[in-house]
Structure formats: C-alpha cells, structure tokens
Amino acid sequence: MSPVLSPSENQQVIQDILATIESVVLGKPQECKLALACLLAQGHLLIEDLPGMGKTTLAHMLATTLGLSYQRIQFTSDLLPADVVGFSMLNHTDNSFELHKGAIFNQVVLADEINRASPKTQSALLEAMAEEQVSIDGATYELPSPFFVIATQNPLSHSGTYPLPESQLDRFMMRLSLGFPDLAAEKKILLSHNGKNKTLTKAPTVNHTAIIDQAGLLAMQQAVQEVTVANDVLEYIIALSHISRSAYVDKPLTAQQSNKTGSLGDLHCNPLSPRASKALLSAAKAVAFIDNRDYVLPDDVQAVFYVVCQHRLEQTPTQILSQHAQKNSIAQRILEQVDVLNPLAY
Amino acid sequence: MSLFSFSTNKKVIATKPKIAHFSLSTQNSWLLWCCQCINIALISAELSSWMLAIIALSFVWQALLLNKNATSHKLSSDKKNSQSKKKPDHHISPVFLGFFAIAGCLAITLSAQGLGVLLSMVHLLSFAYALKAFELKSRRDFYQLFLLGLFLVAAALIFKQDLSFALIAMVALVVNLAVLLQFFSRAQAVSNTLKTVLLLLGQSMFLAAVLFIVFPRLSPFWQVPQANSATTGLSDTVQPGDIAKLAQSSELAFRVNFSQGNIPTYSQLYWRAMVLEDYDGRAWSRTAPDPATVSHDNYQLEAINKRLFMPNTFKESEKLNYQIITEPSFQHWLFALAPATSKDNSLLLLPDYTIQSRKLLSQAKGYHLDSYLNSPLEVNIAQERKAQNLALPARSNPRLVQLAQQLAQQYPDSEQRAQAVLTQIREQQYFYTLEPPRLLNNSLDQFFFDTKAGFCEHYASAFTFIMRASGVPARLVTGYLGGEYNNLSSDGTTNRSNEAQGAQQGHLSIYQSDAHAWSEIWVEGKGWLRVDPTAAVDPMRVNSGFSTQLQQQQLALNNNLLSFNHLKKFAWLNELRLRFDALDYQWTRWVLGYSNDKQRDLLQQLLGKVQAWKVALIIIGAMAISIALVFGVMLLINHQKKQKRALSPWLVLYQKALLILANNGLEKPVNVTPQKFLLILKIKYPELSLAFARVNASFTRLNYQELTREEQKKEFKKLQQHYKNFIKATKKI
C-alpha cells in the first residue's frame, strides 16, 4: 500500500475499517466512529462502562483493523508498575542485565479496567502516555509509533476501584461509553452467540485481518492534521473552552457571556485547559476527515465536545451511560451557551 | 446609530417573533411611572388645577394597578401553574377609558377660550400622556408614550428657560432616556443604564453645541401661538396697594450690565417703565394708545425726531451705555434710566421717554441703551399735554384739594410747593409699610389724613394729586428702584469694558420686590422733574434698599421658604445664591440671548463679510466636521474596546434568511449548527427545505471552507441567487 492515498481511497479505507468494527461491535456506529476518530487524531481513548458491554471488543477490533501490534494488560489492585513498563533482569549466562519489556511496548496497549489498579501503577502509564517513552532503571526507552493507550474502566461506584486522577484523565483525548445495545442489536448478538460460529465470542477478532498498515495509518494521521479549520470554528472552540473558565478568568470574553456566567458560575466545573481545546480541535478534524471533508464544521466540534470534554469538566461518580446524563451534563450546557454563527458574539 | 446596527441586528433575531402579550417588567413599570410623574411635574406650573387633579388621579390609579399587578404576579409564580392560567392583568376597560378621554377633551375644549391655543394644546398633551399609560398593549404604545414624554419636556421649555429650569429639564431628559434604555436591556442594573445615558448625552452634547452655534435660526414655518401666560411685573393701571403686593415677590424682573464706567449710585437707579397720566379718582392709568394696534412707525419717528433735534440737551460726556436683559413678563414694557436712546429696531421709543418692545415679551430679551442721566426731559410741552397732566376728576378727595389750594396760595413757586408737601410727609407721623390698611374707594383723603400708612404708590399718588390740584402738571411713574449688584459674574468676553479704565465687572439684578412708584412734576424751563415722596417717609428705601423693618415685613408676608430673603440671613447661602444668579445671568445672556443677529455677528467676526455661500459652506463644514469627529471618536473607542470584526456579507445574508424563518415561527436556537437547523426545517417546513438547503450549502462553503478569492466570489453570487429563490419560496407559502 502506498503511504499517501487519494481522498477517495482514504474514504474507502475508512469505510472498510468502520464496517469491520461495526460488524463485531453491533449497533454502535457512532461510538465506533468516535473511537476511530480518536486514534486518527493521535489521542488516547478511555472507555468507561459497565462490565460486559463490549469495551474490550471495541479496543481489540481497533487494534486489529489498523494492523497494529497489540497487548492487553488486565489491571488489578496488586498490579505493579514493573508489570506495565517492564524490568531489567540479570542474565546469568553473560552476567548482564537484560531488559524485559512490559506490555506497554506495543503500538496499542489495552489497559483493561484501569481503575482497579493502585494509583502508583496508574501513574506508571502516565509518562508513557504523555511522552511516548518509558524509563526503566535510569534508561529511557522510546515506545513504538504510533502508540495508543485504550483504557477501559468501570463506573467509579463499583467496589475495588481507584478513581483516576484529573491529571491522568486529562491525558485521554476522549472518554467513551458504549451503553446498552438496542433491541435489534442485542438480538443479533444473541444470535451470533447461539449460532454456528461459536469462536466469535471467544476471540471475535480472530477472523479479521488488518485493513491498513502502519505506514498507511501514519499517512492518514498526517492527512487529518491537514484538514482546514475556518476562523469561525476556531473561535467557536475558543468560546466553548472560555466559558468553562469563567469562574477563573476575571474578564469575560464578551459582554454577552458576562450576562450568562451567572447561570454557569454555580456549576463549578473544572476549566478546560489549552490541551483540552487542542484535543477538541484534533478530534473535530478527525471526525471531519472520516466524514470525507477537508474542512471542519461546527457540527464536528459539537459531535466530539461531549466525549472530549465531559471527563475534564467534572468527575462523574455515577452512571454515565444514560442519554439523560449526557443531556444534563455540563458539556451540554456549555454547548447551549455559545452562538454557533457568532461565537465571540459582538 | 449605524455603529450599533450589529447589535440591533442580533437583537432582532433573538426576539421572539410572536409576542402574544406585551407587558413591562414590574421594575420598568415603576420606572416609567416615576418618569411620567417627573415629566408632568415639569409642566405642572402651566396646567390648571382641575387638569392637575385629573392627572394626579390617573397617576394614583396607575400606581394602584401596578401594585396589584405586582402582587398577583408574585402569587401566580408561587403557584407554579402560571403558564397554564392566564395572567390576571388588571386593566381598565377601553370603553371606560375612552369615555374618560372624551370627557377630558371636552373639558379642555370648553375651557379653551380662557386658556388660549398654546395652553389648551399643552393641556391636551399632558392629558394624553397621563392616559396613554393605561393602554400599553404593545411595544408601539410604549414608544408613543416615550415620545410624548420627550415632547412634554420640550413643551415645558416654551414657558421657562432660565438656567435652573433648563438643568431640571435636562435631568428629566436623562430619566426619560434611561427608562427607554432600561426597556431594551432589562438585565442591566439601573445605575449602569444611567451611566450609559450620561455617556451618550455627553457625546451628543458636543454636536448639540456646534449646531447651536452655527445652525441657521430659521424663522418658524408656522406661528407658534403666544403663551397666554399671566403677565408678571407692573401693570398699566395702579391702585394704591398694587405695588406693595408686587414687592412681596422675589422673582427676577431684569438684569443690567453696564458696559463702561461706573454704575450710578443707588438713588439714581430709577428704572422707568410706565408713565401714568390719567387719574379717575381710583386708579392711575395711561393714555398712550396700545402699541399693538397703533402703526408704530409714525410714533417712533416722532419720538426720535424729538430727541435728535435737541442737540444741547444730551451731553456726550454723560452718556451711560448699558445692556438690559429682561425676564419674560408677557407685556410690552421695557425699562430704562431716562432719558434713553437706542438704535435697536425692535424697540419703540415713546415720547414720554418710556420704551416698549414691539413684540410681547414671552422670552428673555436683551437690548442696549444709552442714557443721559442729568439731562432734562421735555422742556417744552404742548398746552394740551399740560392740561392732561392737570386734569382731576370732579369731587374726588376734597380734603386734599383743599390742602392743595392752601399750599398754592402759600407757595407760588411750584418747586417750593412740592418741597412743602414733602416736608409735611417727613415731619408728620407717616409710615412706610408693605401692609397698608385698606382704603374706602381708594380714597387718597383717607390715606393722607387718617391712616397715614402706605407704600410708595400711596405717597406718589397722593403727592401727584396734590400737585395737580395746586396747578402743577404732575404724573405718576412706575418702575423699579435700585437693584442688587452682583460682581461674581466674571465676564469672559468683556473686551469692550476692559478697555475702559476701572471697568466694573458684574451686573445688577432687579427683582419684583424693587418695584416702585414716584412722581414727576413739570416745571417751566426745567422739564419733568423726578420727585420721590417715598424719600421723605423712608429715606433708606431710596438710598440703599429695604430697611430691616421692611425686610422683616416682607419675610412675614412671603410664604415662599426658599425666597432669597430667607437665604440672605446666612452669608454662605447668600454667596451661593449670588453665584447662581451670576451663572444664570451668563446663561440668559449667552444661551437664551443668542439670537439671529448675534449669530450673524459671530459668523461675521469669523468670516469677514457675510456671503450666503460662505455661511452655507461654514455651516455644512462645521456640521460635517463635528459629526465626523464624534463618529471618529466613537469608532476609536469601539475599536480599542474590542477589535471589531465586520460580519461577513454571507453571514449577514444567512442571518436575513434566518430572520425570515423566525418571523414565520421557526427560530434557530443559537447553539444549533446550520446543518442541524436544516434537519429541523425539513420536518417543519418541508416545502422550504430545498430552497433553504441551497442557501445553507453555499453559506457553509463560504463560511467554513477554505476558498480562493475567485471561488469565494462565485460562491457568494450563488448564495445571493439561492437567497432570492428562497425568498420567492417563502412568499409562496
């Protein structure tokens, strides 16, 4: 495969990937698309949901269809940092220390049930996610590229979980939740389970091969970066993040907003960092790319705003999967405040 | 206003297209109510008492309604089901209101004759203003009410223009504008609104000043009916007791500004207003024909000729030049130190050396006079004039006649005879008082021999009567005596007076309380001589003003607590009063007195010879420059405040399309993207969706896609085409 594809070829590949993933993760096209967008935007993905909702399946499918090396770490409360990043071991034959690479030395790391591990172990992941490198015994090792962490976690109310610190949450570009499948999808799942292909449930990805290789993925990521953004959309993103900061910034962005801070001021959300607005922009670009556009629309920003920003805005201890929760979330309220056509409203 | 068009544009979109019921917020309603009260209070002095009572009634009513509405509103919001129930709004039934209005109009029409055209119109305006508040059914009604309020403030300025009133009117204007602004931005605090209004007024002040100075004062296209206001000051008949009444008023009569030399001493300041030559046994009146009916030119010519052909009588060295600015008195009389001449065409110089204005004094008027204080008046008079000034009604005041005949025998010389009367007044127990006892049939006998207490007109009448009865031509003169000197009015442009050495700065203020009456007797070879019998009974009155005893009397009689006589008791208050008086003087002189002629003079000074095109050019130029300046400054401020970004033309077009949809009941919430809005539209107006989809697509391309200039132009043309089609499509529905 040539590293640079034409737009139409790109679109073909993307559609293939999505179709493949959706054939396994049934009834969740929107979530699949967002997950793919996250990877195309070079961000790490956090999937939060109840056990048995297909988190791991989604992560697995992403890795395989993109043709990336993949390893899964099951996080438990006694998991140690060395288990994640690796360790040096004495080689008795030549009396030298030999590096035993941990699971993190893969292009896709699935950190399953990440909030079950102790904070110490969680933070071992931190350096890796931010710097794409790990330090073991004073030596620094580059991680393979592209490098993704796809973490899954259970809702915090479940027993035996440690909440992820804000710093670590901020490093995930998106937090997705899959939610329950609709009736038709669930029926299909049951049918496939009950039917001839029993192996599917065991290892649903076994049958699928990579659709794109590493070079192709890198080229596609490059193409995503080249999606153009109009001034209006930039201002829209700025206005969105600025509203979340109204409690911290003396001067309101506009007169119009100054009237509104009253309604938002009592929400006490965490302000969005510039990293967040950067993530918002990248994710919006990726969504635009998946939709076969070379420019970003405000719709793209709105599509990713909840998944990119909600986990940065507030810690939601309880269920996050219901539609109701999304409708009443702070992210949604912020979206309602900003005029799409004239974000910095004069 | 174009500067704010962006924001208004937005506002239009934001407002809901279908306003089922218009109502002001409680706070705004009260603000409006207060504002209305202020406006009416401003003009209340001109309204008759029954009209004031009606208006007060409707305001109280209005307040009760507001109060009721506020409480019921609270109740309904407590119940929470206010939306399902209809708001219990308290309104007066339109039938009743209409009946009330018609009744009020009828009453105004009936009393129109007494009120005159202008006042009845003002009554009508105020009445409408008070009633309109009952039927605020839509935005338009609110605007109408606001405009009526502004009109009322302007109308109040027809009647009164002095500085304090102008300031009060300004405050009323600010309140009116604040109410309007508050209506538009309910969320703002009232203090913020006030700030904005003051800022806006400040910005417009500069423009107003420039326009005031250079804008040509066109004569009105229609005649403003004269205010049929009560006349103030002296009247042209005098009965004993009239001037005593007038002297209790502390109102300003006129101000004098001596442009060179020293101000004459107090006892020389006899400001002549009227000469009264007819006595009917009760009152003194004047014979001269009414200036409004007589052809003035002959009269004027005669008067001027008389004076111009007396070369020896007026000495140039004694010339005293001064300017008088009168307050509106709604009469024709002007004031002068006799004998006086003037080249002012608007003045009518009468042969008895009094001066009249050709126009009714409904506004402050300024005029320049030259007086020759020590020159004689009318050394030669005609026989019939002599006879006129000797005429007495038969069988009036027999005791005085008897006294007069006695004196005539005793003192053959008329001057000595006058002196004798004065001596008698001085030596006998006569009292000078503001509260003269009432006289039966205005009998001068009773005054002179029994009560022996009176004000200046009593003494002057009696003296004149005696002189006439004894065969000396005599007449009564009314006017003002003295005045209060105020040197605080430092004059900015007294280049003329500065040239004169020891130039006096400041001005004299003459109040109604300085009203005075005295006599003039005609002596062969000397002309008319001024004799003031008041000097005999109360020398202080003539030399320096009211004695303390008189002042106390005045205080007791005057129930106006704020009258300056009260204030005089405290030095600092008096100083403050004088300062304000000085300011008011400058206001009257420069702002109210800025007439057509002054404007021409000023332009002439600036431009040299006045030519029509030059004047036009300078006016247009000045206006253009000032407007440009104001807008420039505003633009600059706006630019600095926020780096302003012009809305792109396609966004404007798109928003126009949105506005059309909003007016048809489909409003785009601000947070909905164009694409999503299209989906909503497809459900609600499927027949429009195709046309709007094209507009939408073009707009999206223009706004969000990176296009080259060429592509942009093409796409914008497409958008315009789509927009036209879209409008056609909307018209079909």
The residue behind tokens 């922009």 is A281
The pLDDT of B201-207, averaged and rounded, is 84
Comparing CB atoms, the residue among B7, B655, B700 nearest residue A346 is: B7
Strand partners, B725: none
* B639 given a catalytic annotation: no
Closest CA–CA distance from residue B647 to any residue of chain A (Å):
9
Contact (CB, 8 A) for B396 and B349: no
Ramachandran sector of residue B193 (left: φ over 0; alpha: ψ -120 to 50; beta: rest): alpha
CATH code for the part of the protein at A227-337: 1.10.8.80
Which residue among A232, A335, A345 places its CB closest to the CB of B704? A232
The two structure tokens encoding residue A334: 């912020």
Cβ atoms of B264 and B373 within 8 Å: the answer is yes
B144: Cβ–Cβ under 8 A, 6 or more apart, which residues? B132
- B642, B644, B704: residue with CB nearest A233: B704
Q: Has B456 been annotated as catalytic?
A: yes
> In this model, does residue B727 exceed pLDDT 70?
yes
Q: How confident is residue B261, by pLDDT bands cut at 50, 70 and 90? A: low
What pLDDT is stored for residue B152 in this prediction?
A: 92
In A32-114, DSSP assigns E strands to 44-48, 70-74, 86-91, 96-101, 108-112
Q: Mean pLDDT for chain B?
A: 78
The alpha-carbon radius of gyration of chain B (Å, integer) is 36
Angle between helix A214-225 and A274-290 (nearest 10): 110
Per the CB < 8 Å rule, is B673 touching A345? no
Distance (Å) from the alpha carbon of A175 to chain B's nearest alpha carbon? 23
Separation in Å, CA of A340 to nearest CA in chain B: 5
Question: Which segment, B191-205, B231-245, B311-325, B467-481, is predicted with the most confidence on average?
Answer: B467-481
DSSP B91-141: ---HHHHHHHHHHHHHHHHHTHHHHHHHHHHHHHHHHHHHHHGGG--SHHH
Most confident option among A99-108, B153-162, B469-478, B662-671: B469-478
Residues in B closer than 8 angstroms to A254, CB to CB, are 642
How far apart CA B568 and CA B511 sit, in angstroms, is 14
- Supply the pLDDT for residue B609: 66
B525 compared with B566, residue with greater pLDDT: B525
In order, the DSSP letters of A318-345 are: S---SHHHHHTSHHHHHHHHS-SSSTT-
Indicate which of A341, A342, A344 best probes the interface with B, i.e. most B CBs within 10 Å of its own CB. Answer: A341
Model pLDDT, residue B231: 65
Chain B residues with CB under 8 Å of A230 CB are 703-706
The helix (H) or strand (E) run that includes residue A142 is: strand A139-142
Contact B673 A298 (CB under 8 A): yes
Chain A residues with CB under 8 Å of B669 CB are: 336
- The pLDDT of B477-483, averaged and rounded, is 88
* pLDDT value of residue A229: 92
- C-alpha span between B292 and B286 (Å, rounded): 15
Q: Which of B123, B236, B456, B538 is catalytic?
A: B456
Tell me which residue has tokens 């099951």: A74
Q: Is the peptide bond before A343 cis (omega within 30 degrees of 0)?
A: no
Q: Find the range with the poorest average confidence among A221-225, B157-161, B543-547, B709-713.
A: B543-547
Residues of B in contact with A305 (CB under 8 A): none
Determine the pLDDT at residue A124: 81
The answer to whether residue B175 scores a pLDDT higher than 80 is yes
Out of B187, B645, B670, the one facing A339 most closely (by C-beta) is B670
Facing B673 at nearest CB: one of A302, A337, A342: A302
Q: Which residue has the tokens 């209790």?
A: B248
CB atoms within 10 A of CB B181: 17
**Which residues from A are below 8 Å from B642, CB to CB?**
254, 346
**What tens-digit pLDDT sequence spans chain A (346 residues)?**
445 567 777 888 888 888 888 888 888 888 899 999 999 998 899 888 877 888 888 888 888 888 888 888 888 888 888 888 888 888 888 888 888 888 888 888 888 888 888 888 888 887 788 888 888 878 888 888 888 888 888 776 667 777 777 777 888 899 888 888 888 888 888 877 654 444 444 444 455 677 888 888 888 888 899 999 988 899 899 888 888 887 676 555 544 444 444 445 445 678 888 889 999 999 999 999 999 888 999 999 998 998 888 888 876 654 555 556 667 778 888 888 888 887 776 3
Of B646, B645, B659, B711, the C-alpha closest to A295 is B711
B671:A339 CB<8 A: yes
| Alpha-carbon span B731 to B722, nearest angstrom | 14
- Asked if B676 and A299 come within 8 Å (Cβ–Cβ), the reply is yes
The active-site residue, picked from B516, B581, B584, B722, is B516
pLDDT of residue B71: 74
Q: Quote the minimal CA–CA distance from A177 to chain B in Å.
A: 24
| B645 or A15: which leads in pLDDT | A15
Give catalytic status of residue B445 as yes or no.
Answer: no
Answer yes or no: CATH 3.30.565.10 is held by domain A7-224: no
Angle at B186 between CA B183 and CA B190, to 5 degrees: 90
Strand B284-285 vs strand B278-279: parallel, antiparallel, or unpaired? antiparallel
The yes/no answer to whether this complex scores an ipTM above 0.85 is no
pLDDT recorded at residue A296: 93
3-state SS, one letter per residue, for B564-611: HHHHCCCHHHHHHHHHHHHHHHHHHHHHHCCCHHHHHHHHHHHHCCCC
A96 Cα distance to chain centroid? 39
Which residues of A sit within 8 Å Cβ distance of B? Answer: 228, 230, 232-233, 254, 259, 294-299, 302, 335-342, 345-346
Residue at token pair 């049951």: A190
Residue B6 has pLDDT above 60, yes or no: no
- Quote the tokens at residue A1: 């495969």
User: Hunting for tokens 């073909």 — which residue is that?
Assistant: A12
**Among candidates B451, B452, B459, B450, which has minimal Cα distance to B422?**
B459
B86, two tokens: 């209809």
User: Given the structure tokens 């006030």, which residue do they identify?
Assistant: B194
> Of all residues in chain B, what percent are helix, strand and coil, respectively (each to 5)?
55, 10, 30
Q: Which of A227-241, B335-349, B530-544 has the highest mean pLDDT?
A: A227-241
Residues from chain B contacting residue A338 (CB–CB below 8 Å) = 670-671
- In terms of CA atoms, which chain A residue is nearest residue B14? A339
Domain range list for chain A: 7-224, 227-337
Residue A162 pLDDT: 79
- Residue of B430, B399, B443 lying closest to B283 (CA atoms): B443
Predicted pLDDT of residue B263: 75
Element (H, E) at B635: helix B612-641
Q: Do B705 and A228 touch (CB under 8 A)?
A: yes
β-partners of residue A99 are: A88
Q: What pLDDT, on a 0 to 100 scale, did the predictor assign at position B514?
A: 86
Which of B671, B712, B715 is the best residue to mutate to test the A interface, defined by the most A CB atoms within 10 Å of its own CB? B671
Rounded Cα distance, A274 and A280, in Å: 10
Distance CA B191, CA B591 (A): 31
| Residues of chain A found within 8 Å of residue B645, distances taken between Cβ atoms | 346
Residue B301 has pLDDT above 70, yes or no: no
Average pLDDT over residues B22-39: 84
More confident of the two residues B717 and B240 = B717
Q: What pLDDT score was predicted for residue B299? A: 57
Which residues of B make CB contacts under 8 Å with A? 6-7, 10, 187, 642, 644-645, 647, 651, 654-655, 669-676, 700, 703-706
Q: Which residues contact B388 (CB under 8 A, 6 or more apart)?
A: B277, B278, B287
Residues of A with Cβ-Cβ distance to B674 under 8 angstroms: 298, 340-341
Sign of CA dihedral B226, B229, B235, B237: positive
Nearest CA distance, A228 vs chain B (angstrom)? 7
pLDDT band at B169 (very low <50, low <70, confident <90, very high): very high
Show the tokens assigned to B497.
């007076």
| Residue B314 pLDDT exceeds 70 | no
Residues A193 and A201: their CA atoms lie apart, in Å, by 6
Q: Which of B491, B532, B581, B584 is catalytic?
A: B532
Q: Which residues contact A258 (CB under 8 A, 6 or more apart)?
A: A252
The CA angle B472-B474-B480, to the nearest 5 degrees, is 150
Q: Of residues B362 and B290, which shows the higher confidence score?
A: B362
> Could you tell me whether strands A44-48 and A172-176 are parallel, antiparallel, or unpaired per DSSP bridges?
parallel
What does the block give as tokens for B195? 């700030």
- Kindly list the residues from chain A whose CB atom is less than 8 angstroms away from the CB atom of residue B187: 259
Residue in B654, B670, B673 nearest the CB of A299 = B673
Q: How far is A317 from chain B (nearest CA, A)?
A: 28
Q: Which helix (H) or strand (E) holds A259?
A: helix A255-265
Q: Is A341 in contact with B670 (Cβ distance < 8 A)?
A: yes
Considering only CB atoms, B187 lies closest to which of A259, A298, A342, namely A259
Q: What is the pLDDT averaged over residues B680-691? A: 85
Bigger pLDDT: B11 vs B600:
B600
What letter would DSSP give residue B3?
G
Structure tokens at B242: 């009239």
Over 50: is that where the pLDDT of B7 sits?
A: no
CA–CA separation, B6 and B638 (whole Å): 13
Residue B5 pLDDT exceeds 50: no
Give me the pLDDT at residue B18, please: 42
